[in-house]
Amino acid sequence: MSYVNNIKMFVRVYELGSMSAAARDQRTSPAVASARISELEKHLGVRLFNRTTRSLQPTENGRIFFEGARKVLDAIDEAEAAVVDVTQNPRGSIYVAAPLGIGRRFIAPHVPAFKDAYPQIDVRLRLSDRIIDVTGEGLDIAFHLGLLEDSTLKVRLVADCPRLLCASPAYVARRGNPADGTALVEERHECLNLRFPGAKEFQWTLQTPEGPRRFEIMGPFESDDGDVLTGWALDGRGIVMKPIFEVADHLRAGNLVPVCTATPPLATQLSCLSQHRRFRDPKIRLFVDFIIARCKADMTAAVKGLTLG
């Protein structure tokens, strides 16, 4: 087995925290993954992981080796990129993360066309509404929906995303349409909450005549999947906050209606994040340019002609 491939397997096992997950990621079997790690440990003369039937933890030597191994792989990627004719023969794997709804609607549909255009580039797409650690999880690109705090990552804005609060006509008939954020809280409306590890307490920041204001909300339902929240809203279970492009079809069909329109949510942003050194890789730039252009077109088309009354 090649030494570089053994290092690549070690890095993915370290980043994913699982031999089987790394094996799936590298399109091989757990037995092969384990053999590569064992061969690397034999070559180095140290143990890189403490393994039990239930857990796998890096040793101190493993943590030290990871830092150097990651730099070696980055250097190999940059060296390969420097000699590849990017317009004729780009190659390699791209690790991409995106929110569930965004990924399903606006990114995943275009991955096959990108693969057709660049057949030697493999795209490995991870979809989740949880907070993503781009560096810690070994990602090349992460699409992020939300306003960014200060970041050491390279950031490309994909689109500004106006949002609204909406509910089904059945919910409005049952509970009424809150006029503003104060009514939303005082009338104890049922709000559908996006919850994931590390999420803040449930607050919606709404635009009031006095400026942005946070409102403490409540509700009997929560999920870490934004599409689940949309489904509950369609079923009349509560009020959901959504980017308009995500629910435009439901608004057109009358299955959802805007509520609390006197104090709408602040707009958010869809951004593309990458480590600076990885964005220098031509295949990464190719993918980002390809997807962003199509995301923007799809999002514009999604809200075209929509009137919110």
Domain that residue 6 falls in: 1-83
Sequence letter at residue 176: G
- The residues, ordered by sequence, that sit 6+ positions from 29 with a Cβ below 8 Å of its Cβ are 23
Distance, in Å, from the CA atom of 263 to the CA atom of 199, rounded to the nearest integer, reads 23
Write the CATH number for 146.
3.40.190.10
Give the closest residue to 191 by CA, choosing from 228, 229, 240. 240
Same domain, yes or no: 256 and 276: no
pLDDT in tens, the chain (309 residues): 588 888 888 888 888 888 888 888 787 888 888 899 999 889 899 999 988 777 788 999 989 999 888 888 877 777 766 665 555 677 888 999 999 888 999 999 999 999 999 999 999 999 987 777 787 777 889 998 887 775 678 888 898 899 999 999 999 999 999 999 999 999 999 999 887 655 555 789 999 999 999 999 988 899 888 899 999 999 999 999 999 999 999 999 999 999 999 999 999 889 998 887 777 788 888 999 999 999 999 999 988 888 876
Same domain, yes or no: 215 and 244: yes
Same domain, yes or no: 208 and 259: yes
Same domain, yes or no: 243 and 299: no
Helices of type H across 123-220? 169-175, 181-186
Specify the DSSP element, H or E, that contains 211: strand 211-216
Same domain, yes or no: 178 and 251: yes
167 SS3 class:
strand
Same domain, yes or no: 199 and 139: no
Distance, in Å, from the CA atom of 32 to the CA atom of 9, rounded to the nearest integer, reads 10
Domain endpoint, select from 57, 83, 109: 83
Whole-number pLDDT of residue 81? 64
Same domain, yes or no: 262 and 298: no
- Are 14 and 61 contacting, i.e. CB atoms less than 8 angstroms apart? no
Name the E strands within the chain: 49-51, 56-58, 92-98, 121-127, 141-145, 154-161, 163-167, 193-194, 203-208, 211-216, 222-223, 240-243, 257-259, 268-274
3-state helix, strand, coil in the chain (%, to 5): 45, 25, 30
Same domain, yes or no: 127 and 216: no
Measured at the CA of 76, the angle between CA 75 and CA 79, to 5 degrees, comes to 85
Domain endpoint, select from 17, 48, 83: 83
- Are 259 and 177 contacting, i.e. CB atoms less than 8 angstroms apart? yes
Residue 116 token pair: 């057709």
Give the closest residue to 96 by CA, choosing from 126, 137, 131, 116. 126
Whole-number pLDDT of residue 15? 83
Total number of domains constituting the chain: 3
Distance, in Å, from the CA atom of 153 to the CA atom of 38, rounded to the nearest integer, reads 34
Tokens 């092969």 correspond to what residue? 32
Distance, in Å, from the CA atom of 258 to the CA atom of 1, rounded to the nearest integer, reads 59
Give the closest residue to 287 by CA, choosing from 156, 150, 138. 156
First to last CA, the chain: 64
Write the CA distances from 206 to 45, 110, 140, 178, 278, integer angstroms. Answer: 58, 34, 33, 13, 37
Domain endpoint, select from 65, 83, 101: 83
Tokens 């250097």 correspond to what residue? 75
Same domain, yes or no: 38 and 56: yes
Same domain, yes or no: 187 and 259: yes
Distance, in Å, from the CA atom of 278 to the CA atom of 93, rounded to the nearest integer, reads 12
Q: Determine how β-strand 92-98 pairs with β-strand 141-145.
A: parallel
Rg (CA), the chain: 23
Write the CATH number for 48.
1.10.10.10
Same domain, yes or no: 185 and 158: no
Residues linked to residue 157 through DSSP beta bridges, in sequence order: 271
- Are 166 and 233 contacting, i.e. CB atoms less than 8 angstroms apart? yes
Write the CATH number for 223.
3.40.190.290
Same domain, yes or no: 121 and 31: no
